[in-house]
Structure 1
Amino acid sequence: MNNATTYYVQTMPGVEEIAWLEIRDKLPGAKFSETVFAKDQNGLLLFSYSGDASDLFQLRAVEDVFVLAVSIDKVPRTRQVLPQLTELIGESATFQHAIDIAMPIRKQPGRPSYRAISRLYGSHDIYRKQLGEAVRRGMKERYPRWRLVDDHAMLEIWINLLGSRLVGGIRLTDRTMRHRFNKPMPLKAALRPSVAAAMIHLTQPTDDDIFLDPMCGSGTLLMERRYAGAYSQMLAGDMLYDHTQAARQNVHALRKEPPNSFGALHLDATRLPLANGSITKVATNLPFGKQISSPKALKRLYPAFFGELERVLGRNGRAVVLSSEYDLVKESVRQCSNLEILTGYSVAVLGQWGRIYILRRS
């Protein structure tokens, strides 16, 4: 790891741990560094990797990928941080190394251009705008001929001042990593692709999976399962016929070879038209919070769904479900003698905290 470069990924809040599992699996030799948080907006996961930077583009449980450019563990919460930041950008070898990594990836014709994005969390004696000005002073000193632009810059320099921790990087990815699907039939409140990818990774996909999402919505989990690798069969369903149609069209529209062994059914997740033990993997986003208006409906749905999950999952089958109804999930699983919750991860989805549960059928 002597030649390793430090990178960081930006995730939805709470997905950092799952993102590390994906990094560990897909980037051999990657070494975990730390996680830091930006309130309820994002998580940052820092790690080192000695392979090619383009390898990081295969990650899917993340929102963006950055090469680390500046890092200070304990900074004053006063104006003193501003000259420190300017000096690091203007003179440090780490910043130059980050530029050298990013330039071949983000290269555009013409004179190099950049923009600065600053984020400030916690109590400080400075404003976010002043962070951006400190970046611009350092860039002017180091690269006097580079153009400062408001948009469509070749390089984006992001500075995150999180309490007394400063982390800055140069963005390697663009908006297509976060907004990766152009769905012909989008639906409101669809699951974030990076969260769906995290859930799919937790199912531990294999080539012989018989995969099911019985509450598929617009099909985001199905689309991520398509990109996770081969499978034996992929099934989807939803109580709402329009959702089933949307999922079918969205999956077929992927920029990938047409899906094999894929079926989308109009079905009730509490009465699945599937044989006992016929499914090996399940991932689904259960209704919770504002997604459903009646608490009584939830109390009927959850026990019935988990009972069906227990029935259709084969021995050692694995299910990954998302919900904020913590007590209802646990109570429903306790009623299923062959289901157990292995672990869970708290994540923020659409401004609300929920939990991704991993279950196994004995």
Structure 2
Amino acid sequence: MADKMTDVSTYLLLVLRGLEFLVEEEIRSKLQVESLEICSVQENPQPPYMQVLQGQAAVGRIILQTKSSAAEVQELRSVQATLALLAKSDEIDTESDAGVKQIGKMVMAADWDAAVKLWKQHAIQPVEDSEIKFRGSCVRDGKHKYNSQTIAGEVGARVVEKFGWNVNLTEFDVEVVVVIFYKFMVAGIALADPRKVQFRNRLANETRSSLADSQYVSTLRPSTAYLMLQLAQHKYGDVVLDSMCGIGTLPICSADFTNDGVYALGGELDELPSGKAGQNVLTRPRPVDIARWDSTRLPLRSHSVDRVMIDMPFGVRCGNQRQNNKMYPKVFKELLRVLRPDGRAVLLVMSKKLFKGAVKDLPFRVVAEHMVSIGGLGGGIYVIEPSSEPTETKPNSTIGKGRGKRLTDSERMEIIARLEDPSSQLSKAECARQHGVTPAAISKLMKVSQSVKKRYSDAGSDSNGLRDKRQRGGFSKSVPFEDELFQWICSVRARKMPLLVSHVQQKAKLLATRHKMNEDFKASNGWYYRFCN
């Protein structure tokens, strides 16, 4: 048994936050998994609230235990960085300098023998223990009473004390990395080639061996390209298009990651990136072509493309918001023209508002929406398909089930009181007309009047008037849970922060645990529409 346990290696994998489930799928399909834990930081139900998609430390985190070899782990396409796990904590002191000592002690209390052994399995060049050079580094986001340099110095001093290794900030063999996001900390030994780490970086860049020239103002990670390819659900022989390909990362990765199973087209308007993309394609024979074109007027036949994948300009390093406002609708209209009726597009964008505005009048169907963290910025990956109707259509003149006006709880209480008043001559039909709802809605309300009154009274004064504004009901026993969720939604909107379906789902799950809801509680999309419409 002891021999078998020594074969198990423990990794800390840093991945694209928001698509951890796809990373898990790849890991389970390629490796012998002993255990896997997704430990990405979730939204805080209580102040201080965290921007979980903002910052360099806002990465997805997976702790993996596997018996697979180092070579097999290195073949994972969806992982941004691989480390040998040292320590993990969800309760780091952020209010005082004691947090520095706390982190140092936790890192030193780790199983260094196992971590160093795993590092040696991944090392490009073997190094004698007495000759090891190292540096400590820290990636940190959130409010702390200490800075990243202090953490790196503390960890470095303790490593010197424990092992006697020499410190070298530029030519090192071992890099001990601490990632701190608010009160959450993970630490490990980086397993990438240290020669690829630039001095200012805390982690090695992803391998881009398939690209001859990857130097440009903004380039997509190959791991993100792989994940977008999985969302595209490509088939053998598909024509894959990136009409704004930059230096060609998406088209080239599409061919490489499918073993040349697709034909990839890429294009760019500017001469510099399109020239680099052309050079990158020639690193080996592959079914990829690069053109210089205007993405709003593609020289392609209608309905000739199976899949589209684009890293849209964010308007930060490339272009600006005003240009994007004019360009996005034209690009999407052209994509609709060249896509096959059964085609699919996967688009990485920064502004949800801009994306929604660009597609609202086009016959696209949003299949999936994933909020992700790209380079420390919050963005979204949207999966869309052509449909027969625009994304947002005008409401029909005939009101269907669930499409009419929704009453607030205060209106419900008023209606119940009026109809239960013995002296009132008000009919249900007249009451429905006055409140702009159907007579059937009034009849249904009166059937559950006792439940509504109990729910309203149970809310009490603690609801601060929020119950009066609620347009959705709920069960009496869920009143504290629902009111706390609704109050959180109001506070988020008051701060003018974006509120997505996934945000409400995550918050509902956290509150359900605290309020001891049923163990089989599921926060479906309905929780968003229950509280946000």
Q: Which among 66, 69, 72 is matched to residue 83 of structure 2?
A: 66
Secondary structure of 2:286's partner? coil
Question: In structure 1, what residue type is equivalent to 2:14?
Answer: Q
1:222 corresponding residue in structure 2: 251
Q: TM-score under structure 2 normalisation?
A: 0.58
CA distance in structure 1 between the partners assigned to 2:325 and 2:156 by the alignment: 55
1:259 corresponding residue in structure 2: 286
2:149 matched to 1:135? no
Offset at 1:221? 1.3
Q: Which among 18, 30, 37 is matched to residue 32 of structure 1?
A: 37
Q: TM-score under structure 1 normalisation?
A: 0.82
Q: Which among 36, 54, 61 is matched to residue 45 of structure 1?
A: 61
Paired residues for 1:1-362 under 5 Å: 4-11=8-15, 19-20=23-24, 22-27=26-31, 29=33, 31-36=36-41, 39-42=54-57, 43-50=59-66, 51-77=68-94, 78-92=96-110, 94-106=111-123, 107-110=125-128, 111-144=131-164, 146-174=165-193, 175=196, 177-178=205-206, 180=208, 183-184=212-213, 186-229=215-258, 230-253=260-283, 257-260=284-287, 262-290=288-316, 291-292=318-319, 295=322, 298-337=324-363, 339-349=364-374, 352-362=377-387
Question: In structure 2, what residue type is equivalent to 1:270?
Answer: T
CA distance in structure 1 between the partners assigned to 2:219 and 2:9 by the alignment: 35
CA distance in structure 2 between the partners assigned to 1:133 and 1:288 by the alignment: 35
CA contact (8 A) 1:185 1:249 kept: no
Unaligned 5+ runs, structure 1: none
CA distance in structure 2 between the partners assigned to 1:85 and 1:109 by the alignment: 27
**More strand by proportion, 1 or 2?**
1
1:271–1:38 CA distance, 2 compared to 1 (3 A) = closer
Secondary structure of 1:35's partner? coil
CA distance in structure 1 between the partners assigned to 2:106 and 2:376 by the alignment: 35
Secondary structure of 2:39's partner? strand
CA contact (8 A) 2:239 2:305 kept: yes
1:237–1:86 CA distance, 2 compared to 1 (3 A) = closer
CA distance in structure 1 between the partners assigned to 2:349 and 2:183 by the alignment: 33
CA contact (8 A) 2:53 2:373 kept: no
CA contact (8 A) 2:222 2:249 kept: yes
Question: In structure 1, what residue type is equivalent to 2:36?
Answer: K
Offset at 1:282? 1.0
Q: Computing the radius of gyration over CA atoms, which structure comes out larger, 1 or 2?
A: 2
**More helix by proportion, 1 or 2?**
2
CA contact (8 A) 1:199 1:283 kept: yes
CA distance in structure 1 between the partners assigned to 2:104 and 2:285 by the alignment: 51
Unaligned 5+ runs, structure 2: 42-51, 197-203, 388-533
Higher alpha-carbon deviation: 229-238 or 174-183:
174-183
1:347–1:118 CA distance, 2 compared to 1 (3 A) = same
1:330–1:4 CA distance, 2 compared to 1 (3 A) = farther
Percent sequence identity over aligned pairs: 25
How much is the aligned-residue C-alpha RMSD, in angstroms? 3.3
CA contact (8 A) 1:38 1:121 kept: no
- Return the structure number with greater relative CO, CA threshold 8 A, min gap 6: 1
Secondary structure of 2:87's partner? strand
